[in-house]
Amino acid sequence: MKKTAFLTGTILALCLTTGVFASDRTDINIAIDSDIESLHPSDWNTTNEKNIGDQIYDTLMYVPMDGNMDKVEPRIASGYTQSEDGLVYTFTIRSDVTFHDGTPLTAEDCAFSVQLYIDSEYQGTSADVGSVEAPDASTLVVTLNAPFAPFLSDICAMHIGSKAYHDAASEEDFMTKPIGSGPYKFVSHAIDTNVILEAYDGYYRGEPAIKNVNYYVIKTTAPQALMSNQVDFAEIDASALPMLQAMPDIVVSPVPTSGYSHLVMNLEKAPFDDVRVRQAINYAINRENIVNVIYEGEAEVNSNICAKTRYGYSDDQLQYTYDPDKARELLAEAGVEEGTDLGSILCAEKYSNLATVLQADLAAVGLNAQIDVKEFNAFIGQLTSGDFSLCALEMTLEGDTQMLEYALTTPFIGMANNARYSDETMDRLFEEARVEPDNEKRLALFDEILNKAQNEAVYAVICNPQILYAYHKDLTVTDFVLEGNYYLFDYAWN
């Protein structure tokens, strides 16, 4: 009994101290929704693994995910030059960077890490890399066999690990006890429980304001943990929004993502081979309604496969709006009769609500569809093999806008080109964008690509769901750019 009283007292005292001396805090508690399995520089797989890796490892340079080249900052590399033909990238590596074990970081470590990415099954680059060399300790030279315009953002997303540590440690240690050169060093990981990091005092950009970082694995109750002050920062579901908005000391920031929710039409099957039918379906969808009903308002209406803050997007590209009359007109023109059966909308359990609303929208213009809910792996199997008519899902093709070739070009049919769209002009445009070094010309190419995709209604894109970050109001955070990557180095308590 006495012990309980003591414990309660301590807890109350702790609550009080955190309330009163919030400004003295140098720790941060962050909720993650699933455990991590790997903190390997290149062999990671989930957003949580990437986010934690971003604190432990540094990169050659910082390139924001929205491709805004004005905001590129030097990191391990103080700068770079590119040869005339766009094939040779030469990075100058700083000499004052050290790994968490105290050893200096050299160009050799950078070359090793880039090679890790190229060889990795998990991550990589679409560039055709010829050689990665470190002629001396402060120079990294990467030579491509063919120009690849987004290569800088690709290479600058790579986490730089230690070659010496890789050679000395077991494969398992290298993956689970990472040594990086970033602002935070790895302390411990308890399976399904937490990951603990602490500030690295030898970090070349200075020590961060937040010294101790605790990531807690919280599967479903992150909002509750925020409300009881057990965590300070968490990604939350839109459904928790009303509950958290009622809390005066919690701020919620919506973050745009390039992920898109959409209806796939199998172009290999009639009537979806008729562009008018695809346009009609695009006009038949009430996107505002879907955003309100399915995403609780936390998504940006957008019929374009390219997110609005992403490189290459323009408001001049065609936007499909809700216009059922126009849809009926187009269907009549295409000779599709009232009450035509389109087959089923394939979906996984998590997309079944989306499919239901889409089914109702199609019914409103006289198109019938059934819903076919499959277990996730079966769903993916059926989707990639083209064994479906319609399919409702969310996709993410992160990185440079060049990534959209996965959804729109012939070589990716059977992978992520779910519409099975094959068009010579489109394939050629992506090939040109891939090698175009000039920014203006490249933007023009993407404009052509996206106009073409929109006019031909290759997909029926609905919206870009947003990530919601909720955090304590006393925590100073930096603006979240596309995809919501964050660097705790820039955070502080006021």
Partner 1 sequence: MIPVLLGVSFLVFTILSLTPGDPGSIILGITAKPEDIARLNAEFGYDRPFFVRFFTYIGNIVFHLDLGTSYATRQPVINSIMARFPNTLLLAAMAMAVECLLGVSMGIISAVRQYSVLDRVMVVVALVFASIPGFWLGLMLITVFSIRLKLLPVFGADTLRHFILPTLTVSLTSAAGLLRLTRASMLETVRQEYIRTAQAKGAGERVVIWKHALRNALIPVITSMGTGFGASLGGAIIAETVFSMPGMGTLMTNAIRQKDVPTVMGATLFLAVMFSVVVLIVDILYAFIDPRIKAKYRNEGRGRG
The contacts of residue 325 (CB under 8 Å, 6+ apart) are none
Query: Residue 362, interface with partner 1 (CB under 8 A)?
Result: no
**Burial (Cβ within 10 Å: 0-12, 13-18, ≥19) of residue 354:** buried
- The nearest distance, CB 469 to partner 1, in angstroms, is 18
Q: Which stretch binds partner 1 (CB under 8 A): 110-118, 172-180, 284-292, 452-460?
A: 172-180
Name the token pair of 318.
């065609």
Q: Mark residue 67 as left, alpha or beta (left: phi above 0; alpha: psi -120 to 50; beta: remaining).
A: left
Is the Cβ–Cβ distance between 113 and 76 less than 8 Å? no
Residue 190 is a binding residue for partner 1 (CB under 8 A):
yes
Using the contact rule CB under 8 A, the part of the chain among 75-83, 189-197, 200-208, 473-481 near partner 1 is 189-197
Query: What distance in Å separates the CA atoms of residue 298 and residue 291, rounded to the nearest whole number?
Result: 7
Nearer to partner 1, 21 or 376 (CB): 376
Determine which residue in the list 218, 336, 342, 391 makes contact with partner 1, applying CB under 8 A. Answer: 218
DSSP-assigned states of every residue in 4-33: HHHHHHHHHHHHHHHHH-GGG--EEEEEES
Residues 6+ positions from 153 with CB-CB distance below 8 Å? 63, 67, 399, 400
Cα 309 to Cα 303: distance, rounded to the nearest angstrom: 14
Regarding 192 and contact with partner 1 (CB under 8 A), the answer is yes
Give min distance, CB of 399 to partner 1, in A. Answer: 10
Q: Which of 193, 370, 425, 494 binds partner 1 (CB under 8 A)?
A: 193
Q: What binding mask, one character per residue, do residues 398-437 give for partner 1 by CB under 8 A, x or -?
A: --------x--------xx---------------------
What minimum distance in Å lies between the beta carbon of 342 and partner 1?
Answer: 23
Residue of 116, 14, 1, 136 lying closest to 57 (CA atoms): 116
6 binds partner 1 (CB under 8 A): no
- Encoded tokens for 285: 């969808």
Which 8-state DSSP code applies to residue 343? E
Which of 237, 375, 387, 438 touches partner 1 by CB under 8 A? 375
CB 38 within 8 A of CB 44: yes
- The size of the interface with partner 1 (CB under 8 A), counted in residues, is 46
Stretch that binds partner 1, among 5-13, 313-321, 347-355, 433-441 (CB under 8 A): 5-13
Residues 28-87 that bind partner 1 (CB under 8 A): 34-35, 37-38, 45
Looking at residues 264 to 323 of the shown chain, list those that interact with partner 1 (rule: CB under 8 A). none
Question: C-beta of 244: minimal distance to partner 1 in Å?
Answer: 11
Q: Any idea what the Cα angle at residue 305 is, between residues 304 and 308, rounded to 5°?
A: 65
Which one of residues 24, 121, 315, 325 is an interface residue with partner 1 (CB under 8 A)?
A: 121
Q: Give the residue, chosen from 168, 360, 380, 435, that forms a contact with partner 1 under the rule CB under 8 A.
A: 380
- For partner 1, the binding residue among 135, 207, 376, 478 (CB under 8 A) is 376
Cα torsion 106, 111, 117, 120 to 10°: value is -110
Min dist CB 54 to partner 1, Å, is 20
Structure tokens that stand for 330 in this block: 């187009």
Residue 122 as a binder of partner 1 (CB under 8 A): the answer is yes
360 or 415: CB nearest partner 1: 415
* Most distant pair of Cα atoms in the chain: their distance: 82
Angle CA(178)–CA(184)–CA(189) in degrees, nearest 5?
50
Q: Does 381 bind partner 1 (CB under 8 A)?
A: yes
What's the N-to-C CA distance of the chain in angstroms? 39
**Residue 217 sits in the site that holds partner 1 (CB under 8 A):** yes
Site string for partner 1, 219-258 (x = CB under 8 A): xxx--xx-xxxx----------------------------
The residues binding partner 1 (CB under 8 A) are 7-8, 11-12, 15, 34-35, 37-38, 45, 121-122, 171-172, 175-176, 190-194, 216-221, 224-225, 227-230, 375-378, 380-381, 383-384, 395, 397, 406, 415-416
